[in-house]
Amino acid sequence: MTQASLFRDEQTAEARVTSVDPLPFNRVRDRSLDFRDIRASSGVHGIHPYPAMLHFLVVRKLIEDYSHEGATVMDPFMGSGVTAVECLGRGRNYAGFDINPLAVLISKVRTTAIPSAPLQKVLSEIAHRYEDANASPVSFHNIRYWFHDDVIQKLSALREAVGQVEDEDMRRFFSVAFSETVRRVSRTRYNEFKLLRRKNDAHNLSVMKTFRDVSLKNMATLGEFYRNNPPTTAEMLLEERNIVGGIPMGDGTVDLVVTSPPYGDSRTTVAYGQFSRLSLMWLGREERVDRTSLGSKPRSITQDLPSEVLDDFVERIAAKDDKRAKEVFSFYFDLHQAVRIIARKVRPGGHVCIVVGNRRVKGIQLPTDKICADFFESEGFAHIKTSVRAISNKRMPTENSPSNVAGQKDVTMRYEYVVILRKCPPQP
Ligand SMILES: C[S@@+](CC[C@H](N)C(=O)[O-])C[C@H]1O[C@@H](n2cnc3c(N)ncnc32)[C@H](O)[C@@H]1O
């Protein structure tokens, strides 16, 4: 069996792990990381959906294994803030960045413990203002394709009422409930991470009732979560930022990185921008995520990146489709830039735990775990191991169309790879 065919699908993977052959690329199948019966969206992680969330129990284990209380943990691809929540609960100082304003908003709300009583009071004030509001209807490109006219009117009134909440933390809390309401009352398919119009209309859902239900659910979740997991006094920095342009932390100041980058370019994998677009438009934010995230700029293929495996795979894809090979290369080019920036921030002896999915393109599974390990090794890290865990309940595609032919589906990403590296001391 060639290395490339390992973990081609679930059956192959299961067959491999029970075989006596060692896995390639320093991989070890670790069933203790599967957490099959515990949903990734449990507790506070269920506040607002987000694609491809890390499993909080995986993050918790990594934080406990590779850092101590008072350490500084960084997540440069923060998403919905799973690592942030775990750091807050375990006394680790935290710095997280994301290019997507919706991700930053959700992360801030999930990491801000607010008691229910003042939130209840503000919810009643919002409901009163909503009744009296005379807001001009919000308008943006294609709004009437996604929303009924009467829903537009009601959401506009609600948006104005939420925007008038004075306290910043509370305004964020209700903006997240508003964003979830936008998703529910739109014509999009709620459970899809891409923007797709549903067949059955949801316009008969009451805007205010939906908002109230979501707000009450989130209040109860937040209240219960922080009663059971009291926040520590950890320092928390959560910032909107394209990290390829730099990270505002001193070199060598980070003890541990726990992160999960995008799996590929947003056109053919998870489109974070598309997922967030309607919410961001309603929140008055421009959506530029898919145009600026990793792999969005086309690059010419070179052999300059420090991964022979990558060269080999790009060549194999190019033999089938030159354009797709360029797209794949462009993504890894940007990922390499990001790795160089992240690597500098880690102190010697510090660790990086990077969680990736190995997607397939043109029927070829790309070993992103190995490519990441190569990139970090070229920045002075030692690859300790790659733990392989089975994914369940993740909000991400289980099928894609790697051939880019409509209707042709392929199984993708049933396993997740947790790549663990340690930064070596500087050479004398
Ligand atoms: C796999 S998701 C992270 C999910 C996160 N670990 C969680 O549990 O919710 C990858 C994230 O990277 C962000 N991203 C993509 N390109 C970025 C960039 N250049 N700088 C910062 N964030 C970026 C996306 O917006 C997305 O939220």
Query: For the segment 291-311, what is each residue's pLDDT rounded down to a tens digit?
Result: 888 888 888 898 789 999 999
How many A from CA of 413 to the centre of ligand 1? Answer: 17
Crossing angle for the helix pair 368-377 and 308-320, nearest 10 degrees? Answer: 140
Which pLDDT score, from 0 to 100, does residue 269 have?
A: 76
* Residue with more model confidence, 205 or 242: 242
Give the phi and the psi of residue 262 in degrees, each rounded to 5: -55, 155
CA distance 177 to 192: 18
Greatest alpha-carbon pair distance for the chain in Å reads: 71
Pocket probe for ligand 1: among 56, 98, 277, 356, the residue whose CB has the most ligand atoms within 8 Å is 98
CA distance 179 to 356: 28
CA distance 89 to 66: 16
CA distance 180 to 214: 7
Tokens of 12: 């192959």
Amino acid at 100: N
pTM of the model: 0.90
pLDDT surpassing 50 at residue 412: no
Dihedral-angle region of residue 267 (phi above 0 means left; psi in -120 to 50 means alpha; beta otherwise): alpha
pLDDT surpassing 50 at residue 1: no
pLDDT surpassing 90 at residue 379: yes
Give the chain's domains with CATH numbers: 3-111+235-423 (3.40.50.150), 116-228 (no CATH)
Lowest-confidence segment of 45-54, 222-231, 381-390, 393-402 by average pLDDT: 393-402
Q: Cβ–Cβ contacts within 10 Å for residue 304, how many?
A: 8
Instruction: Give the atom of ligand 1 at the shortest distance from the alpha carbon of 40.
Output: 8
Query: For the segment 61-103, what is each residue's pLDDT rounded down to a tens digit?
Result: 999 999 999 999 999 999 999 999 999 999 999 999 999 999 9
Dihedral sign for Cα atoms in the order 247, 248, 250, 254 = negative
CA distance 345 to 253: 6
Ligand 1 binding pocket (C-beta < 6 A) is: 50, 52-54, 77, 79-80, 82, 97-100, 103, 242-244, 260-262, 272, 289, 293-294
Instruction: Give the atom of ligand 1 at the shortest distance from the alpha carbon of 107.
Output: 9
